[in-house]
Amino acid sequence: MVGRKVIAFFIAALLAQAASAVIEVTVTRSTEAKQPIAVVPFGWQHGGEPQSVDIAAIVRDDLARTGLFEPIPFDSLPGRPHRYDQINFKDWRLLGPGSLVIGNITPSLTAEGGFVVEFELYDVLRQRRVIGYQLTASAQAMRRVAHQIADYIHEQLTGNPGAFDTRVAYVTEQRGADGSARYRLSIADVDGHNEQVILDSSRPIMSPSWSPDGTRLAYVSFESERPHVYMQTVATGDRERITDFPGINGAPAFSPDGDRLAMTLSKDGNPEIYIMDLRNRRLRRMTNDPAIDTEPAWSPDGRFLAFTSDRGGRPQIYRVAADRGGQAERITFEGSYNARPVFSPDGKKLALVHGGGGRYRIGLLDLENGALQVLTDSSLDESPSFAPNGGMILYATREGAGSVLSAVSPDGRMRQRLAVRTGGVREPAWSPFRN
Amino acid sequence: MDLRPFRIALIFVSAAALAACEGTVGTVDDPVTTTPPATTASGASTSGAGGDTVSGAQTGAGAEDATTTTAIADPRHPLDDPSTPLGTHTIYFEFDSSDVPDSAQPVIEAHARYLSEHAGASVTLEGHADERGSREYNIALGEKRTLAVRRLMSLLGATGPQIRTISYGEERPAQAGFDESAWRLNRRVEIVYRTRE
């Protein structure tokens, strides 16, 4: 028993090495009332290679990171049931009105080298099963299976879909001893595992933006000495330069239908917002003002573009109708600096960078009543990005001499820190839900 | 029981991560699910070799402007005499402002005169911002600063084709640091000669 555990652990460590997880997540602030939950290590049913990824641990950690759940440590579990008939509900009264998750892993009979992962969620007080699913996937997909299980549990227990089976794109910068810089655009699972570098350059990379189906990223690269917008298919690495105008080519943002890209171009003399139809590459100009107009963000219904403009003297957020542009309406009035807007998935709120008192923090604007709530208390925050379920806002913040990623809940009560061990990390973009 | 191996695992992983960083980036293994493993390095990598390019050289020049300007003085060429306006290649700005300060007027006048008297000379004006605020706004701010300098130079006799502009926003600070002492050196336009006579 111990021997097998050690082997499984060793393989897990090897796998982690291959994945070279560079982000470590810690919860820095959370809510008081948490739901107790017990995730029992899943049973391993004979045959094939030992299952290397500890699925239960991933599920447990996913749930713990939300700050909504209080998982019981494995060594405090009163039992290790894998099936319903092994559950002695009396043992689990310590959970109070909590939940119990059990599961089993078996080699797949149909998918070569694959596994069948079953899990069940139990209501301990009522002594009944709440949900139970069976997921079949390849050995390489086991981390993802664990995240999907956590998503099911999260949705069942909170009413909101989980966003564990999603990814984050971000930019890192590393300085060599000779002062030379390397810029990388990377993608990782939201728990920091499976980091992949998808672009590596000696010149700056900026502003990654996901296509709504999560298959492509648009971003700005200075690789040709001037900034241009590129679009890259994540799975294949195929990429294409899609702008080649003088001046700024920046701030790309996919429309919710994925057919268009809003962007900033200064080809006519100063930065203006344009929409490019990706099917025919035609441009439509959405703003017309001698001031700076940049950082367009689509409302989820595709009707509006919010953007940053200093047409009033200082940067503030404005909005135009995406079907015709024209007259812009100012929507932020609090403070002397509001920039880089992004809509919440329900379209009711706008996260932004709010400057005031010499600090730049993440703010949340309620579009219905105009109230602006400052969510963070650091001093140099930027690049807010919503989880696709709206449950967290990821952003970059200055910490010591480096830049790290943090996340905050829209009510400001829950905060996470994602510590990257390799140099400065910034411009996080949370992916859409995966298909 | 559970915590200890986990801690060991973390150490192990971080060592592995470090090793991975030191070495090549070519991680072929991709334990992620999806469809074909996304090893995109070949198509995506730009032509590496930082430093061979104009931009690499400019970064160096920027850093020296900020700290050891006198070290590169070449008294034989007026553009390299740092004691003169023409030997000054950086113009600094106030926060969130593209107004060229009065103190920079002699510098702009000197370079405009040089350009008007040397038709074969040309410059790139590189606009920069400090790290505060949002990145794309800072790109726009850096551009606005270059355009303000270009406008003045044009008024003073430099011709359009002699002056190119590019903004790096906050992406290429001249000075590391997180307070005003660094920020004031980063809010700048650098006058970089592409050709001189």
Contact A425, A435 (CB under 8 A): no
State whether residue B178 sits within 8 Å of chain A by CB: yes
CATH number at residue A266: 2.120.10.30
- Token pair 């590391």 is at which residue? B176
Mean pLDDT of B129-133: 95
For chain A, what is the domain count? 2
CATH number at residue A126: 3.40.50.10070
Q: Which residues of chain A, if any, have pLDDT below 50?
A: 1-22
With CA atoms as reference, the chain A residue closest to B47 would be A201
With CA atoms as reference, the chain A residue closest to B34 would be A141
Whether A235 and B48 lie within 8 Å, measured CB to CB: no
* Distance in Å, alpha carbon of B57 to nearest chain A alpha carbon: 10
Q: How far apart are CA A25 and CA A416, in angstroms?
A: 7
Residues A393 and A411 reside in one and the same domain: yes
DSSP A83: S
State whether residue B35 sits within 8 Å of chain A by CB: yes
DSSP A90: G
- Token pair 């739901």 is at which residue? A35
With CA atoms as reference, the chain A residue closest to B171 would be A204
pLDDT at A68: 87
Whether B2 and A199 lie within 8 Å, measured CB to CB: no
Residues A146 and A276 reside in one and the same domain: no
pLDDT at B52: 27
pLDDT at B1: 36
Residues A144 and A187 reside in one and the same domain: no
- Which residues are CB-contacts of A40 (< 8 A; sequence separation ≥ 6)? A56, A77, A79, A80, A81, A82, A100, A101, A102, A103
Q: How far apart are CA A7 and CA A3, in angstroms?
A: 6
A2-19 and B3-22 helices cross at what angle (nearest 10)? 30
* Distance in Å, alpha carbon of B27 to nearest chain A alpha carbon: 8
pLDDT at A48: 54
Chain B residues lying within 8 Å of A16, measured CB to CB:
9, 12-13, 16
pLDDT at A12: 39
Whether A194 and B30 lie within 8 Å, measured CB to CB: yes
- Token pair 């709010």 is at which residue? A354
Provide the chain A residues 180-219 that lie in CB contact (below 8 A) with chain B.
Answer: 180-182, 184, 187, 189, 194, 196-204, 206-207
State whether residue B160 sits within 8 Å of chain A by CB: no
Residues A105 and A146 reside in one and the same domain: yes
Residues A208 and A343 reside in one and the same domain: yes
Residue A70, in any domain of the structure: yes
Residue A22, in any domain of the structure: no
**What pLDDT, in 10s, does the model give residues B151-171?**
999 999 999 999 999 999 999
Residue A299, in any domain of the structure: yes
pLDDT at A67: 82
Q: Which of A239, A231, A233 is nearest to A263 (CA)?
A: A231
Whether A198 and B135 lie within 8 Å, measured CB to CB: no
Residues A276 and A337 reside in one and the same domain: yes
DSSP B22: H
Chain B residues lying within 8 Å of A197, measured CB to CB:
25, 27, 41
pLDDT, greater one: B94 or A49: B94
Whether B59 and A179 lie within 8 Å, measured CB to CB: yes
Q: What percent of chain B stands above pLDDT 70? A: 62
For chain B, the average pLDDT equals 71
Residue A19, in any domain of the structure: no
pLDDT at B75: 62
Residue A365, in any domain of the structure: yes
Chain A residues lying within 8 Å of B40, measured CB to CB:
196, 198-199, 232, 234, 236-237
Residues A282 and A133 reside in one and the same domain: no
State whether residue B71 sits within 8 Å of chain A by CB: no
State whether residue B66 sits within 8 Å of chain A by CB: no
Contact B65, B87 (CB under 8 A): no
Give the ipTM.
0.89
Residue A14, in any domain of the structure: no
Identity (one letter) of the amino acid at B6?
A: F
Structural domain for A54, as ranges: 31-158
Residues A145 and A269 reside in one and the same domain: no
Domains and CATH numbers, chain B: 54-195 (3.30.1330.60)
Residues A150 and A177 reside in one and the same domain: no
Residues A292 and A316 reside in one and the same domain: yes
**What pLDDT, in 10s, does the model give residues A243-281?**
999 999 999 999 999 999 999 999 999 999 999 999 999
* Distance in Å, alpha carbon of B78 to nearest chain A alpha carbon: 28
Residues A346 and A306 reside in one and the same domain: yes
* Tokens coding B14: 């971080």
Select the residue of B9, B63, B133 nearest A360 (Cβ to Cβ).
B133
What length does chain A have?
Answer: 435
Chain B residues lying within 8 Å of A12, measured CB to CB:
9
Cα dihedral: B154, B157, B159, B160 (round 10): 10
> What global pTM score does this model have?
0.84
Residue A3, in any domain of the structure: no
State whether residue B33 sits within 8 Å of chain A by CB: yes
pLDDT at A415: 85
pLDDT at A32: 64
Residue A2, in any domain of the structure: no
Whether A232 and B131 lie within 8 Å, measured CB to CB: no
Q: Which of A254, A296, A253 is nearest to A273 (CA)?
A: A296
State whether residue A245 sits within 8 Å of chain B by CB: no
pLDDT at A93: 85
**What pLDDT, in 10s, does the model give residues A325-378?**
889 999 999 999 999 999 999 999 999 999 998 999 999 999 999 999 999 999
Last residue of a domain, one of A118, A133, A158: A158
With CA atoms as reference, the chain A residue closest to B35 would be A235
Last residue of a domain, one of A98, A130, A158: A158
State whether residue A172 sits within 8 Å of chain B by CB: no
State whether residue B22 sits within 8 Å of chain A by CB: no
Residues A322 and A394 reside in one and the same domain: yes
**What pLDDT, in 10s, does the model give residues B55-91?**
222 222 333 333 334 445 566 788 888 889 999 999 9
pLDDT at A414: 84
State whether residue B56 sits within 8 Å of chain A by CB: yes
Last residue of a domain, one of A158, A182, A197: A158
User: Distance of CA A397 to CAs A9, A59, A77, A400, A435, Å?
Assistant: 34, 27, 38, 10, 30
